[in-house]
Structure 1
Amino acid sequence: MKVSLKTIVIPVIIALLFRFAFGINSLDSIYSVMSIAFLVGVPVGIGVLTVYLSPLHLVEKPYYKILMPWIPILLFCLITLLFFIEGWGCWIMILPVFLLFASIGGYIGGKLKLRKKKREEDIFVSLIVLLPLIISPLEQWIGSIPGTYKAYTYIDINAPADKIWSNVTRVGEIPESKNKASITKFLQFPRPIKAELNYEGVGASRSAIFSGGLVFHETVLEYEHQHKMTFSIKAYPYEIPSTTLDNHIVIGGQFFDVLNGTYELEKLSEATYRLHLYSYFKLNTTFNFYASYWARWIMKDIQNNILQIEKERAENMVQK
């Protein structure tokens, strides 16, 4: 299968130009990478353009229209990673959307190509490719609708309440070998290191320290000894080094923030307790319907990891 260079190079250049335009800070009131116009419109346009620029005999093959647009998308992804334009974590979350809509664009591009009315189709293709520039200002004018979401986890622990609670309020240094959070580890998110509490009671300050300079500043809002602890959570973006998190998913930033968390200890039997941990987080994008799945998945992965560490330590204290 022979494909001309322009079939791949031109769509990649177009994608990079869009990324540059949508990343200009002075234009963020009308163009934003964190928008449906970019995340859907750009891959659709790239898919249309890729197939439309392809030889007719290849466009006639159904699989070509669906799969060929993935090549410029993957090259675009690789270039942005190599030049640190985007982070690995962002691409893992967004790549399925890009590939899906690039294929949809490829299918549309194939339909236009096979109609063989070059002048009309040239105009249609140009309009589709430029559509994100038209849609984005309207999307930004409508604005995002902030949403609050819950991530709930729990674990059963065979240890007395006092042993469990001592590991809840204060978490000692966690070696890297104990980090079992599969999703966040794969995405290279910060891992938990320790949690410090100055005293047990309402108004107490708790610091949850993660790798990469990420610190959650927590204030205890509700406290029932060995039963319940609710705390507000605040992360300050200016404290987090730029190398720790991609600026589109930085905690406490424009698009994502964690609001509060709660531990609850429930007695199941004389020897077993269930430790509940849930948190509330906020998203502020125009595609919360998609972002919320990833955010909840990541939050639950972090929480499950912490619960597993607390379980192991509490049960070990009993055995000693």
Structure 2
Amino acid sequence: MITPQRRPYFYSIGIGLLYALIARFVFDRHLIPHNDFLLSVSFLLLTPIALGAVSAHFTPDEASDSWRSYWAPFLNTLLFLTTALIFHLEGMICVIILFPLFLGLGPVGVMFYDIFAKPRSDSRNKTLVVAAFALLPFVAAPLENQFTTPDNYHRVENSVVIAAPAPIVWQHIIRVAPIQAADLGPSFIDAIGFPRPVEATLTHEGLGGVRHATFEHGVEFIETVDDWQPLRRLSFGIEPNTATIPPTTFDEHVTVGGRFFDVLRGTYELQPAGPGRTRLVLYSQQRVSTNLNWYASLWTDFVMSEIQQRILTVLRHRCEASAAIVAR
């Protein structure tokens, strides 16, 4: 039962949820032709601050400080992202990315609102303050769009020491036999919907050979070998095969080869690590293109590192098994 005393709390949460959903729809490129502001500073930073201010404005005066500053923004964020997930406004990957920003910046919005709307201010002044906060993301977005989105190119590297000589390791990396889910083991990136690697084929050995690296759900990358140094180095450019990737596999904002993110190159390097041992290094070069590259890169680096480390672990097990057979 919603008692009269609790009703204002539900109103404040409901208004906050409504504001967040309106912002989500307005910032969607489908409503603003030729633009996509969902990965902008205006949406990712200013919207949660505005949401905190809206939440504070409509929170009853008798509410505790903890409810006003933390619980109300937290519930608004939780309800907004849950609603976005249920109604397929966002995929799980984007919800996970949005959650820390909205959770952390909501209380900041409450703090700023309290600074500008003094406790003794009249209701008209408070209304003007919350209106200014609510409109800020929408006013800032067109201004932000006047600036060119920066490209950030960087490298993600993983390595593993394998108890096998280089010739065995080399044969396992130029072509990767089919990988079962049990070979990879559980991972957080599986839970957020990123496809597991399946296999990598090779048309022919040497420069110009084409690897087809496939993942679950029809995801395929075409990898053209441009550096072939047997037992030492294998490097290739990467192009997503957009013809085979279903549009529902990735959230549109994290699609590989899309406007915001791309993996450009992959490289295996074999390094001596002692008698009968090889250090296998796998690194990729990627592009992140948002107005919040430092934050987006945290997530892209994490996902790429997790994928690479899982592949290296599978290769280590296979190479060491092959070495054990040869040693018999």
Alignment of 1:171-320 (within 5 A): 171-180=176-185, 182-320=187-325
- Is the aligned partner of 1:166 residue 2:171? yes
1:226 shift after superposition? 1.1
Does the Cα contact within 8 Å between 2:29 and 2:35 map onto a contact in 1? no
1:28 shift after superposition? 4.7
1:207 shift after superposition? 0.7
Instruction: Render the CA deviation track for 1:12-37: whole Å, top value 9, x for unaligned.
Output: 11111111111143515455111110
Structure 1 vs Structure 2: percent identity of aligned residues?
32
Q: TM-score, normalised by structure 2?
A: 0.93
Alignment of 1:3-18 (within 5 A): 4=8, 5-18=10-23
Does the Cα contact within 8 Å between 1:197 and 1:204 map onto a contact in 2? yes
Using the TM superposition, name which of 100-109 and 227-236 deviates more. 100-109
What stretches of structure 2 of length at least 5 have no aligned partner? none
Question: Runs ≥4 in structure 1, deviation > 4 angstroms?
Answer: 28-31
Instruction: Render the CA deviation track for 1:171-213: whole Å, top value 9, x for unaligned.
Output: 1110111123623223220100000011111111001100011
Alignment of 1:118-137 (within 5 A): 118-137=123-142
For the residues of structure 1 that align with 2:70 and 2:128, how far apart are their CA atoms? 22
What stretches of structure 1 of length at least 5 have no aligned partner? none
RMSD (Å) for aligned C-alpha atoms = 1.6
Q: Paired residue for 1:106?
A: 110
For the residues of structure 2 that align with 1:209 and 1:146, how far apart are their CA atoms? 27
- Match among 47, 51, 65 for residue 46 of structure 1: 51
Count of residue correspondences: 319
For the residues of structure 2 that align with 1:57 and 1:226, how far apart are their CA atoms? 71
Does the Cα contact within 8 Å between 1:266 and 1:274 map onto a contact in 2? yes
Does the Cα contact within 8 Å between 1:153 and 1:276 map onto a contact in 2? yes
For the residues of structure 1 that align with 2:268 and 2:104, how far apart are their CA atoms? 39
The amino acid of 1:299's aligned partner reads M
1:116 shift after superposition? 2.9
